[in-house]
Structure formats: C-alpha cells, structure tokens
Amino acid sequence: METQAPTASFTVIPNRRPATDEERWLAMEDPVFGKVFTDHMARATWREGEGWADRRIVPLAPIPMHPGAAVLHYAQQAFEGLKAYRWEDGSIHLFRPEANAARLAASCARLALPTVSEADFLAAVTGVVEADRNWVPSTAGASLYLRPLVMATEPSLLVQPAAEVDFLVTASPVGAYLSDGTQGVSIWVSRGYHRANPGGTGEAKTGGNYAASMLPQKEAKEHGCGQVLFLDAKEDTYVEELGGMNLIAVRADGSILTPRLSGTILAGVTRDSILTLLRDEGRAVEERDVALAEIIAGLEIGEIVELFACGTAAVVTPIARLVSDDFDIAVPERDGDDASVARSVLERLTAIQYGRAEDPHGWTTEVVPAPEG
Ligand SMILES: Cc1ncc(COP(=O)(O)O)c(C=O)c1O
C-alpha cells in the first residue's frame, strides 16, 4: 500500500452556523452514544496515482455519494474509535491516538484501502477537537468520541479495490457509559454464529464484522442479554471477544487470563492499556487460547472470580452472567468495591485519561491547552 509523506496540514473552513450555546448544552446534557455530532468534521480524498489531497476541517454536512459507490455495495471501509478528554484545568487530551492510527493503517491494508499516515490521522483528529473544543464535555466520565472512517467512494460495481477513497473524522460528545462499576451485564454466548474466521477480517476494524454481529446481538437481546460473546469459528471451543469489546478474566489468585490476539480478535487499545496497568501492579497476565469450558468450570469451582469486558466506548463493563442454550451461570459478586479488579482498573485508567493521576507510559497527548488565567 501507498506510504505517505509526513506532511499533514488540514485547512480549516469554519462552520458559519455552529450550534448555539443553548443548542449545544441541550445536545450535551445526556447524549445517547453516537447520536449527537459536533459542528465540524475532517475530510481528505484519495485518488489512485495521486495520493491524498484536499485535507480539510469543514462544517459537518451530509456527504453526497454516487449510488454506485463501492463502499455501499462491497463494504470496502475501515474505521476507528478514540476519545478526547477534558481535564480539570480545561485542557483537552487524546488517549493513545498513535495506537488508533496504527490500527487504522492495519485495517486499511487488510481492506486494500490506501493507508492514512500517522501524521494525517493525528492532524485530522486534532483539527476536529480544536475546532469543536466547546463540544468536549466537562462532566464526570464524559468525553468527545472521535470516529475516523476510510471508505471507497469510487462509483464502480467491479469487485476490486476502489480508485477513489474518502477519509473522514466526525466527533460526538458522549456521557459516562458506566455510572456504577458494580453493575454487571448479562452476556449471551453465541453458538450458531461466529464473528470471525482465520484469514478473514476479524482483526480489522471494518463495518462488515459489525454487520455480521447484529443478528447474534438481536438473539442476545431476546434472551435478556446486553452483549454477545463469540467463540472461535474453527473449533467452536475458545472464547474470542464480544461484539465490540475484549474479554478479561480474573483468577482467585489475582492473576489475569485473556484470549490471545489470534488474528481473529480486534487488538483493543483499552485491552492493551488494562493489561499493562495490571502487569504494573505485579499481576501475572496470561494471553492464550481460553476454552469456554475452562471459563465455565473456573466460575463453578471459584477459580475464576471476575469477568469483565473492555473497550473505548464503555471502558470497563463487569460481566454478571454468562448465558447460552445449555447454561446460565452467574459470576459471583465480589465482597465490596475494593475487591473488584474491574472497578480498580477502571479507576486507574480513567484517572490517567482525565489527568487525575500520573501517566507513566506517556499515553496522553495534549491537543488544546488550558485556558489562560
Ligand atoms: C470487536 C471489538 N473488539 C474490541 C474492541 C475494543 O477496542 P478498543 O479498546 O480499542 O476500543 C472494540 C471497540 O472498538 C471492538 O469493536
């Protein structure tokens, strides 16, 4: 795939009709995840033989598209999800944006899309945050969710890599997903459906994976569950991940067990950050194939004491129950908040993201300084 020169300046064309203060406050009061969008977006276009051009921060607007655009037919696209956080002093920071840039590049490579350079990625997300700094919430646990997207816009029904591609970044203020860290979600273990198969696109963040997860997600809802857990497609034995989050188990001895990045699992930035923090605490962390039977037996005999899911949107979601056609197992509640690894690691991670604690790994990047005075 094409590599980029590290020049990345996005021309800002300000929105002449931004939301009024009142409209913005109303929209940000209790935003439903991903339903409220800010005043601006980043956009750049790519043509085969020419590379990326027209890097701009522009007013948010619908993007007219030819009905034959390849992405609409063959789903040639890749996307990302990361957040900007407002610190107590008013400054705004991104969390590990380089990791998202690298993952987008890997997803684009798998989807035969042109790669967005790290410089372009960072300039685009920074440009949107700067333009829409008023949209970054200051309420506890809230943030600005950024959604970079690369998609094939060429009008062509030929099944081949598109010669015209768009890169977009939109932004949405989001509230705290999880106000009470002790609340757990019920998980439906999908038996009939798989999310990803070896050699497929499971490791890429691409829309088709999510399209395929909607029916199992519906099945989960019908069984009273909030999320789906997928098993591996080859042996139908090993737990992989949820529709939009990675899975982590805590053993009675305090050690951590999680499915390895086998090629069919999305390498979560939250997963990596949490495993790093848990290793920092001196915990043993095992990344390997984990059979569903091992999890069930572990829960039954008390060897596994906690299960939780993690991802950018919800950060950490404790799991209360695992359900399928042939079992329904409660994850025992831990005595008091202090015992919960999910809760303590959520607190440690969010303290770094919001600048309340030291950032020993250099994960945060300031994009808007604190206002003077
Ligand atoms: C399938 C899937 N797995 C895991 C994750 C967690 O990834 P991250 O922590 O980078 O948000 C996500 C969320 O983006 C996801 O969609």
- Choose one of 174, 208, 238: the last residue of a domain: 174
Q: Which of 104, 312, 350 to mutate to test the pocket of ligand 1 (most atoms within 8 A of CB)?
A: 312
* Residue 98 within a domain: yes
Q: Rounded to whole angstroms, how far apart are CA atoms 164 and 146?
A: 23
What confidence tens digit (pLDDT) does each residue in 52-95 have?
999 999 999 999 999 999 999 999 999 999 999 999 999 999 99
**133: region left, alpha or beta (phi > 0 left; psi from -120 to 50 alpha):** alpha
- The atom number, within ligand 1, closest to the CA of 100 reads 10
Same domain? 163 vs 243: no
Same domain? 187 vs 170: no
Binned at pLDDT 50, 70 and 90, residue 108 comes out as: very high
* Residue 249 within a domain: yes
Choose among 140, 141, 138, 167: nearest CA to 152: 167
Same domain? 111 vs 223: no
| pTM score of the predicted model | 0.95
Same domain? 38 vs 85: yes
* Residue 315 within a domain: yes
Q: Rounded to whole angstroms, how far apart are CA atoms 245 and 236?
A: 19
pLDDT of residue 292: 98
Number of domains in the chain: 2
What confidence tens digit (pLDDT) does each residue in 148-178 have?
999 999 999 999 999 999 999 999 999 976 5
Does residue 7 carry a pLDDT above 90?
no
Residue 164: CA atoms inside 13 Å, Cβ hemisphere, count? 11
- The atom number, within ligand 1, closest to the CA of 271 reads 9
Residue span of the structural domain in which 250 resides: 181-353
Q: Rounded to whole angstroms, how far apart are CA atoms 79 and 103?
A: 9
Whole-number Å distance, alpha carbon 19 to ligand 1 midpoint, is 31
Q: Record the tokens describing residue 5, joined without a space.
A: 């020169």
Q: What is the mean pLDDT of the chain?
A: 94
pLDDT of residue 335: 63
* Residue 364 within a domain: no
- The atom number, within ligand 1, closest to the CA of 246 reads 4
Whole-number Å distance, alpha carbon 268 to ligand 1 midpoint, is 5
Number of Cβ within 10 Å of residue 344's Cβ equals 17
The domain spanning residue 347 has which CATH number? 3.20.10.10
Choose among 129, 56, 139, 134: nearest CA to 93: 129
Same domain? 118 vs 169: yes
Q: What is the mean pLDDT of residues 315-323?
A: 95
pLDDT of residue 180: 46
Binned at pLDDT 50, 70 and 90, residue 32 comes out as: confident
- The atom number, within ligand 1, closest to the CA of 270 reads 9
Does residue 330 carry a pLDDT above 70?
yes
Choose among 333, 342, 365: nearest CA to 121: 365
pLDDT of residue 188: 97
Same domain? 140 vs 268: no
Whole-number Å distance, alpha carbon 311 to ligand 1 midpoint, is 5
What confidence tens digit (pLDDT) does each residue in 201-227 have?
999 999 999 999 999 999 999 999 999
* Residue 143 within a domain: yes
Same domain? 133 vs 209: no
Hey, whose CA ends up nearest to atom 16 of ligand 1? 244
Q: Which of 98, 240, 246, 277 to mutate to test the pocket of ligand 1 (most atoms within 8 A of CB)?
A: 246
Whole-number Å distance, alpha carbon 66 to ligand 1 midpoint, is 30
Q: Which of 143, 269, 270 to mutate to test the pocket of ligand 1 (most atoms within 8 A of CB)?
A: 270
Whole-number Å distance, alpha carbon 246 to ligand 1 midpoint, is 6
Does residue 5 carry a pLDDT above 80?
no
pLDDT of residue 113: 98
Whole-number Å distance, alpha carbon 319 to ligand 1 midpoint, is 16
- The atom number, within ligand 1, closest to the CA of 243 reads 1
- The atom number, within ligand 1, closest to the CA of 103 reads 10
- The atom number, within ligand 1, closest to the CA of 273 reads 9
Whole-number Å distance, alpha carbon 1 to ligand 1 midpoint, is 24
* Residue 360 within a domain: no
Q: Name the percent of the chain lying above pLDDT 90.
A: 89
Same domain? 130 vs 194: no
- Choose one of 120, 142, 174: the last residue of a domain: 174
Whole-number Å distance, alpha carbon 313 to ligand 1 midpoint, is 8
pLDDT of residue 333: 78
* Residue 371 within a domain: no
Same domain? 195 vs 82: no
* Residue 361 within a domain: no
The domain spanning residue 147 has which CATH number? 3.30.470.10
- Choose one of 159, 174, 189: the last residue of a domain: 174
Q: Record the tokens describing residue 47, joined without a space.
A: 């043509």
Does residue 278 carry a pLDDT above 60?
yes
- The atom number, within ligand 1, closest to the CA of 272 reads 9
Binned at pLDDT 50, 70 and 90, residue 332 comes out as: confident
Please list, residue by residue across 138-160, b when 16 or more beta carbons sit within 10 angstroms of its beta carbon and e when fewer do: eeebbbbbbbbbbbbbbebeeee
Please tell me the least confidently modeled range out of 12-26, 116-130, 333-347, 353-367. Answer: 333-347
pLDDT of residue 177: 65
pLDDT of residue 373: 74
Same domain? 272 vs 125: no
Whole-number Å distance, alpha carbon 232 to ligand 1 midpoint, is 17
Does residue 338 carry a pLDDT above 80?
no
Ligand 1 pocket (Cβ < 6 Å) reads 81, 241, 244-246, 266, 268-271, 311-312
Same domain? 110 vs 218: no
Whole-number Å distance, alpha carbon 271 to ligand 1 midpoint, is 8
Same domain? 266 vs 342: yes
Does residue 183 carry a pLDDT above 80?
no
